[in-house]
Amino acid sequence: MTPLKPILTVDVVLLTLVQGRLHVALMPRDKAPYQGHWALVGGYVHVDEDTDSASAALRTLKGKLHFEPRHLEQVCTQANATRDPRGWSASIVYLALQPVEVLTPLTDQAGLQLFDVSGGVAGLPDNLAFDHAELISLAIARLQAKAAYSTLVAYFLPDVFTIPELQKAYESVLGQKMNAANFRRKILESAQFQLAGMAHSTGRPAQAYRLVPYLETFTRALV
Amino acid sequence: MTPLKPILTVDVVLLTLVQGRLHVALMPRDKAPYQGHWALVGGYVHVDEDTDSASAALRTLKGKLHFEPRHLEQVCTQANATRDPRGWSASIVYLALQPVEVLTPLTDQAGLQLFDVSGGVAGLPDNLAFDHAELISLAIARLQAKAAYSTLVAYFLPDVFTIPELQKAYESVLGQKMNAANFRRKILESAQFQLAGMAHSTGRPAQAYRLVPYLETFTRALV
DNA sequence: ACAATAGTGTCTGTTAGACAGTATTCA
DNA sequence: TGAATACTGTCTAACAGACACTATTGT
């Protein structure tokens, strides 16, 4: 007797920053189980079209939301007998980061909604599908663990941004104010950002920067 | 047409320290594919007996080697169409740490062998099954990334150990010598270790310590 | 001129690391 | 008494963080 194979899915915890508050993107499920409940963007791995699990995550995002995230990384795999009523199920969990500008036009259109998780997962609606509240927790924990010594947070911003904008994003994710002079020094010393012209809003114009490609960790933590 | 389900396995990268050198435990595969090649301890997830993927990893270790590792953590999931000739396959990779004393008696008996990976994966035999060389690389990278700010390395030592012994283990894993006075200070300040009598060998006897349960990260990195 | 935001210079307390020196055992 | 190992005290250079100050725009 060969044992039944488990179900294999990918789930993407798509995070963004809305006015200094961390938000997660969820869609209502259109099928049982958990029909109508809020769920992460995800789906089955398709053995005939996906070359690997990251491709499956990207295909899902492109299929449902028609965009590629600025950042995508694997968080962990949640796999057990009880998380899915259909049977033993493994979900490969991905963390995706994206500037809110791209996401806002998609709300309503695809049923997508952004939920405030700046205070953790507790504030989310009750009707979340599967163990998705837990998956979101895990992804946020990963983000916060990496934030202080990586440029991850920059992926919440558009391609080009100023140092004060970056600082506000870091403060939102890490949940603490930082000294502007010291923040600036660390960012510039990290050599992970390159000049990209000037940015104008109210007050004195600021130097704009973009991420240097392929680097992403600080030698010293930001906080 | 429902697409074929992928294969789901767990693979355990079981590491130990042999005379100050990192080693990985491998077993020869007794079945095709890759029959006779060296492979990680691992196997299929059994939906009828495993409650989750960590249980599957533990069952595999107990079944093949009859022991529970001192430390077990999930590293990542390697999932793609080409890693297994039988078809689309996902392997949930676990890192296990164990003092060598438990492992040595198992070599030969179960066909288990310890391979030196202190210089990386390059020194391993050519006939490694699947993508196991890559999985070993990933697990070692995880260990080294966490080592400097966690007590992970202590799991290479017996339950009770001295600070100089711990220092040697850290030096082996991190690949650099450390100052004994400063190392001692950091370890004691971390409050992650509690007194456990005295240890006698040559020279002055040393205080013995054991890990405090449930804690495992330093507030500041060791290096 | 003033509000608003960007950016700089400098001081200070803390800490990591270096190193010299002391302590306790065994042969 | 000397070799071997464990452990302690202290100095210093580097750095994180605080903060006062200057710069550049729009109204």
Residue B166 zone, left/alpha/beta (φ > 0; ψ -120 to 50; rest): alpha
Say which DSSP state B84 is in: S
Question: Residue-wise pLDDT tens for chain A (223 aa)?
Answer: 445 889 999 999 999 999 999 999 999 999 999 999 999 999 999 999 999 999 999 999 999 999 999 999 999 999 999 999 999 999 999 999 999 999 999 887 789 999 999 999 999 999 999 999 999 999 999 999 999 989 999 999 999 999 999 999 999 999 999 999 999 999 999 989 999 999 888 889 999 999 998 767 888 777 7
Q: Which pLDDT score, from 0 to 100, does residue B153 have? A: 96
What is the C-alpha end-to-end distance of chain B, expressed in Å?
56
Q: Which pLDDT score, from 0 to 100, does residue A223 have? A: 73
Q: Which residue has the tokens 């990192």?
A: B22
3-state secondary structure of A66: coil
pLDDT greater than 70 at residue B80: yes
Interchain contact, A8 vs B4, CB within 8 Å: no
CA distance B201 to chain A (A): 39
Residue scoring higher pLDDT (B184 or A108):
B184
User: If you write DSSP's letter for every residue of B16-70 in order, what string do you get?
Assistant: EEETTEEEEEEEE--SSSSTTSEE-EEEE--TTT-SBHHHHHHHHHHHHH----S
The C1' atom of D27 and the CA atom of A204 lie apart, in whole Å, by 13
Q: Which pLDDT score, from 0 to 100, does residue B157 have? A: 97
Cβ A6 vs Cβ A79: under 8 Å: yes
Q: Which residue has the tokens 């508050």?
A: A21
Q: Which pLDDT score, from 0 to 100, does residue B1 have? A: 43
Mean pLDDT of chain B, nearest integer = 94
Of B209, B187, B190, the residue nearest B198 (C-alpha): B209
Q: Is B220 exposed, middle or buried (0-12, 13-18, 19+ CB in 10 A)?
A: exposed
Measured between beta carbons, which residues in chain B are less than 8 angstroms from residue A8?
Answer: 5-6, 8, 79, 90
Q: Which pLDDT score, from 0 to 100, does residue B3 have? A: 54
> How is residue B178 written in tokens?
């450390």
Query: Beta strand B71-80 with A206-211: parallel, antiparallel or unpaired?
Result: unpaired
Q: Which pLDDT score, from 0 to 100, does residue B2 have? A: 44
Element (H, E) at A90: strand A89-97
By C-alpha distance, the chain A residue nearest B57 is A79
Distance between CA atoms of residues B116 and B18, nearest Å: 8
CA distance B207 to chain A (A): 33
What are B85-137's pLDDT values in tens digits?
999 999 999 999 999 999 999 888 789 999 999 999 999 999 999 999 999 99
Of B101, B115, B139, the residue nearest B27 (C-alpha): B115
pLDDT greater than 70 at residue B70: yes
For chain A, positions 65-104, list CB contacts with chain B under 8 A: 74, 76-77, 79-82, 87-88, 90, 92
Q: Which pLDDT score, from 0 to 100, does residue B160 have? A: 96
Distance between CA atoms of residues B122 and B2, nearest Å: 41
Q: Which residue has the tokens 């006075």?
A: B181
pLDDT greater than 70 at residue B71: yes
Q: Which residues contact A45 (CB under 8 A, 6 or more apart)?
A: A8, A9, A10, A53, A56, A92, B6, B79, B88, B90
